[in-house]
A and B are shown apart, each in its own frame.
Chain A
Amino acid sequence: MPARNDPPYAAPDAAGRFGSYGGRFVAETLAHALEALTSLYETLRDDAGFRQALAEDLSSYVGRPTPLYLAQRLTAQVGGAKLYLKREDLNHTGAHKINNTVGQALLAKRMGKPRVIAETGAGQHGVATATVAARLGLECRVFMGATDIERQRLNVYRMELLGAEVVAVESGSRTLKDAMNEAMRDWVTNVDTTHYIIGSVAGPHPYPMMVRDFQAVIGQESRAQCLEAEGRLPDLLVACVGGGSNAMGLFHPFLDDAGVDMVGVEAAGLGLATNRHAAPLNAGSPGVLHGQHTYLMQTDDGQIMETHSVSAGLDYPGVGPEHSHLKDLGRVRYAAATDAEALAAFRTLNRAEGIMPALESSHAVAWAMQEAARRPASDIIIVNLSGRGDKDIDVVAGLGGDSAP
């Protein structure tokens, strides 16, 4: 077996701190619900019955394990390191988001809460939440920025078909951060009956830890699949980072493998120099938003900035606190890909492999292609293909993606 770090990486602490990041910066009304959720989760995560129920759902309902696919034509086209794609797009509902919602739905059931709420950006988390709610007979309300509703209509319709109520959020920048504000307002009002299924490794403790644990199945499978296929661990992991759940899920099981490099790819939007991006780890500074201390896009006065990305799922001014910690530790490097680079990668992967990635995942593909070209053919790169791109067809067509050569 490959060498592992000793002592192993261990975070967060009991207060939900990843180094100086994380914590629980919420209105007092939510304090008890978060304590109760933490305590229940800490009991259940080691409970054999719970683990088995989760494993069965992941296998029989979500469709796991997902393949680790060697993209041979893409590798040949790029001309460098071997590119593997972790096919989270093949999960039920088309993205990694359901790994988490299946787990949190089991928690909601255990807590006896008949209602779940969620925020969503691209709509993938909203669909994943509406799906598990339908399956378990839970009432479901999803908050979505009005701007995102415009650009992700397909997912809005899917959520409604699943029986969820989709609430358009008109405040602020009308995107993911505002949807999260509105979800917090709903939760504070209905906290006795409602579980808030946060969709990323973000928010107050225990969400960053809990969502990471639910998503870590991505990295656990990838690790075993790479050892099986190649007889060794990969040299590099690449994943896109908005809130950062698909990246955290892939990275976490490898954190003690010193030989495995990791790169999170943020949304550079129109370019990091333009201020029209969503790259807090590249161009932001630490602050407090949505219950967590983490890197944020903020003004000199501490107001949260409006962000821009072609992909709704990355259009968020914060990032999960564990990513902030891993950045400061230097364990993970955070790069960025522009809208244009992501769109080009979207087209390339369609033509080279017959796979349509989500625009979010396209950011990771774009950066990984550039990096693979700089590396020898003996290197192995795993790219997390976090979701499929059907939802993005209208956006891509609107930007001229249909006229690609």
Chain B
Amino acid sequence: MSRIAARLAQRRGEGRRALATFITAGDPTLDATVPALQALVRGGADIVELGVPFSDPEAEGPSIQRSSERALANGVALADVLQVATAFRRVDADTPVVLMGYLNPLLRMGYEAFAKRAAAAGVDGVILVNLPPEEADAAQTTLAARGLDLIFLVAPTTRRERAEHIAARASGFIYYVSLKGVTGARHLDVADVERGVAALRAVSDLPVLVGFGIRDAESARAVAARADGVVVGSALADAMGERATCPERIPAALESWLRPVREAIDER
């Protein structure tokens, strides 16, 4: 069983919700990323999503755009992100790592080369924001051959027939986009999320993690009550951006931000 499936099955078995975190690799420096990931794990993260910075992050709000810009200012490339993943895996054998970003850097490296290097780095899954299922055959086949999950997104605008099609080819978990908007948007509607997740459950048994627009313990608690887990990202990017000139203070800040979120989704 993959690390992702194992971790999500474990949480399901315990009756708990999963907590996934997103930070951009290399923000604000490459050296800061592994300590930041470890801090997130201490704070309660079950899955760490590691952002691959991209010059044109068209689905991101300002917080994650800026985190991507900070990483790119350091010249961080996909190869560096894979090195960070390797370094993290050396100190953490269990926490699933999911790379998240846009298609072009992977396309440029080549699916085969990427899949081989990502598997060797201990990466477990990949989320590509601008790779919908219709365009995903080659990527998914190549990644699956190396044991990597290609994780698909479902949105509030996804119609049932299409959700069925996505569910049929999904692995790992399904990432449900909580709202029509970009990451970090501030118009989360819990009732909408509840309807969306329920519709998704009707077509898939896979765990459903909900992301976009979850900014604090309260919204995490509300959304987690209606799904298998939540993803937080923009708030972490802000916390890192505020400490870009003193990265040694990032781990403690992330851990203390995340801990109440963990407690909130565990309490429900």
Contact = CB atoms under 8 A, between A and B. Distances in A.
Interface stretch (A56-64, A287-295, A344-352): A287-295
Contacts of B57: 181
Contacts of B204: none
Contacts of B69: 171-172
Interface of B: 54-61, 65, 69, 72, 77-79, 102-109, 129-132, 134-135, 152-159, 162, 166, 177, 180-182, 185
Interface centre among A28, A31, A290 (most CB of B within 10 A): A28
Interface in A177-209: 177-178, 180-181, 184-185, 188-192
Contacts of B159: 32
A180 B155 CA distance: 21
A230 interface: no
Given A24-B132, A29-B177, A301-B79, A288 B157 contact: no
A301 B157 contact: no
Contact of B185 (A15, A189, A289, A296): A189
A18 to B, nearest CB: 14
B103 A29 contact: no
A47 interface: no
Interface in A27-83: 27-33
Contacts of A387: none
Contact of B162 (A30, A31, A190, A288): A31
Given A30-B157, A302-B108, 6 more contacts: A26-B130, A27-B59, A172-B55, A177-B56, A180-B58, A303-B54
A298 interface: yes
21 contacts: A23-B134, A25-B131, A26-B132, A27-B129, A27-B155, A27-B177, A29-B155, A31-B132, A172-B56, A180-B58, A181-B56, A184-B58, A189-B180, A192-B180, A288-B102, A288-B107, A288-B130, A290-B58, A298-B104, A302-B106, A303-B72
A117 B109 CA distance: 34
B108 A287 contact: yes
A300 interface: yes
Contacts of A289: 56, 104
The 4 lowest CB-CB distance pairs between A and B, nearest first, are A302-B108, A302-B105, A301-B77, A29-B155
Contact of B55 (A32, A190, A291, A303): A303
Contacts of B182: 185, 188-189
Contact of B158 (A25, A28, A171, A291): A28
A304 B104 contact: yes
Nearest to A305: B55
Nearest to B157: A32
Contact of A300 (B102, B108, B155, B181): B108
A184 to B, nearest CB: 4
B105 A28 contact: no
